[in-house]
């Protein structure tokens, strides 16, 4: 297929080959997440763990589609991030960073993989300790997980993005937690990690998004971040930002030699997907990136923080809106949670009892029964279930 033909026909889930690529990317990112979790031990260096996650994705994708005529792009779609405790997101430090994990750290792991531009994204929350998670740490994880389970059931053809926003806020409140502001769940398309159709986490006057209805054959990365604090994260230090994405619609003639060198390297290695500054020559990158960001050639992903002492949890999954129902392709089982809150709200229970498959293929009733059984002890919901049924 020529580039012109490719542009005319947008590849989506009506193509079995596209579905296969999404599921292959999901299988790799799920295993990469498992590997990262196994490395999360006290005194382990954060940058080393992030590198292991990215390396695994590069190795596994690199061994696929080797013998095809046309080169297929594949690899890391979002660098591995390991955000600790009250750090909300995007912490993926440079090689020189000495940050290590400690017993009792609450980690948010965020990563994504793509094959031919078809992206599987995942985020998971893990406590660095043996045994069950208790207290407010358990509440904040359960809030994110239950909100994700509700979102999975409400993101279906014919439903509206605003309904999902309202529902996830209600779930967080049931655990006496807040949904973190500024987090968007995006539709994804080939080579597009942040499509135009979005679900807002928190509706407020400052942030407005267009009303949108979900449609069959769409793909979404559902992104839920919860906090025991105010849910209004702040940027504390711009120097912590290491993840950027090329803003393809912007151009500017850079003045500094270091900027031009780095920008040329970025265009060559990372023309579309977000990348980590670790992949660039560190000294030159520090100088050059600033000018690139100042002139909007790069979109930064800042490291945001809640207040010290706040617990923050993050659950993200990729869902394919298939004709026979929603197919959640990325996830990882949670640790055992012993929450201080239980969900009694009948509306939340009713959402959790919904099936994720449509009835027309005959599979709906069975799935509904299974999910209904899981929905009562919400915090015990096993995020791996949908994936295991592939």
Tokens of 356: 């994720």
Per residue in 3-30, is it b (16+ CB within 10 Å) or e — as a string? eeeeeeeebbbeeeebbebbbbbbbbbb
pLDDT in tens, 331-344: 999 999 999 999 99
pLDDT in tens, 33-86: 999 999 999 999 999 999 999 999 999 999 998 878 888 999 999 999 999 999
Supply the pLDDT for residue 248.
87
Tokens of 185: 């769940």
Tally Cβ neighbours within 10 Å of residue 230.
13
Q: What is the pTM of this model?
A: 0.89
When pLDDT is averaged across residues 349-377 and rounded to a whole number, the result is 55
Report CA-CA distances (Å) from 6 to 1, 2, 12, 190, 218: 6, 6, 11, 11, 18
**Residue 11 scores a pLDDT above 90:** no
If you count them, how many residues does the chain have? Answer: 390
Q: Average pLDDT over the chain, rounded to whole?
A: 88
pLDDT in tens, 161-180: 999 999 999 999 999 999 99
First vs last C-alpha separation in the chain: 29
Distance between CA 352 and CA 367 in Å, rounded?
12
Phi-psi region of 309 (alpha: psi -120 to 50; beta: other; left: phi over 0): left
Tally Cβ neighbours within 10 Å of residue 375.
22
Give the confidence band of 9 by pLDDT, cuts at 50, 70, 90: low
Report CA-CA distances (Å) from 308 to 3, 193, 270, 311: 50, 31, 34, 9
Helix (DSSP H) and strand (DSSP E) numbers for the chain:
10, 17
Tokens of 79: 């660098």
């Amino acid at each position: 297929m020529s580039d012109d033909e490719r542009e005319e026909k947008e590849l989506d889930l009506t193509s079995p080959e596209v579905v296969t690529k999404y599921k292959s990317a999901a299988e790799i990112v799920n295993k990469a997440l498992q590997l990262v979790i196994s490395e999360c031990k006290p005194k382990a260096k954060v940058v080393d763990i992030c590198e292991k996650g990215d390396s695994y994705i590069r190795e596994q994708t690199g061994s696929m589609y080797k013998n095809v005529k046309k080169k297929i792009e594949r690899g890391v779609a979002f660098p591995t991030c390991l955000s600790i405790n009250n750090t909300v997101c995007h912490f993926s430090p440079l090689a020189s960073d000495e940050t290590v994990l400690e017993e009792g750290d609450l980690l948010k792991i965020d990563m994504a993989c793509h094959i031919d531009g078809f992206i599987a994204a995942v985020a998971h929350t893990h406590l660095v300790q043996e045994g069950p998670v208790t207290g407010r740490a358990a509440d904040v994880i359960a809030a994110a997980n239950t909100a994700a389970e509700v979102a999975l059931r409400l993101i279906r053809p014919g439903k509206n993005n605003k309904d999902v926003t309202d529902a996830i806020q209600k779930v967080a409140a049931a655990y006496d937690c807040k949904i973190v502001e500024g987090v968007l769940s995006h539709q994804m398309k080939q080579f597009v990690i942040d499509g135009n159709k979005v679900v807002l986490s928190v509706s407020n006057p400052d942030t407005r998004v267009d009303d949108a209805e979900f449609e069959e054959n769409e793909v979404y990365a559902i992104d839920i971040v919860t906090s025991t604090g105010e849910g209004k994260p702040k940027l504390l230090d711009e120097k912590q930002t290491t993840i950027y994405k090329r803003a393809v619609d912007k151009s500017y003639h850079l003045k500094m030699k270091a900027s031009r060198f780095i920008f040329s390297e970025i265009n060559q290695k990372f023309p579309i997907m977000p990348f980590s500054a670790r992949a660039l020559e560190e000294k030159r990158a520090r100088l050059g990136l600033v000018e690139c960001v100042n002139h909007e050639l790069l979109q930064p992903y800042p490291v945001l923080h809640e207040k010290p002492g706040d617990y923050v949890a993050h659950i993200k999954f990729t869902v394919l809106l298939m004709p026979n129902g929603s197919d959640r392709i990325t996830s990882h089982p949670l640790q055992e949670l012993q929450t201080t809150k239980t969900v009694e709200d009948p509306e939340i229970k009713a959402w959790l009892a919904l099936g994720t498959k449509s009835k027309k293929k005959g599979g709906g009733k069975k799935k509904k029964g299974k999910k209904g059984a899981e929905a009562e002890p919400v915090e015990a919901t096993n995020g791996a279930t949908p994936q295991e049924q592939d």
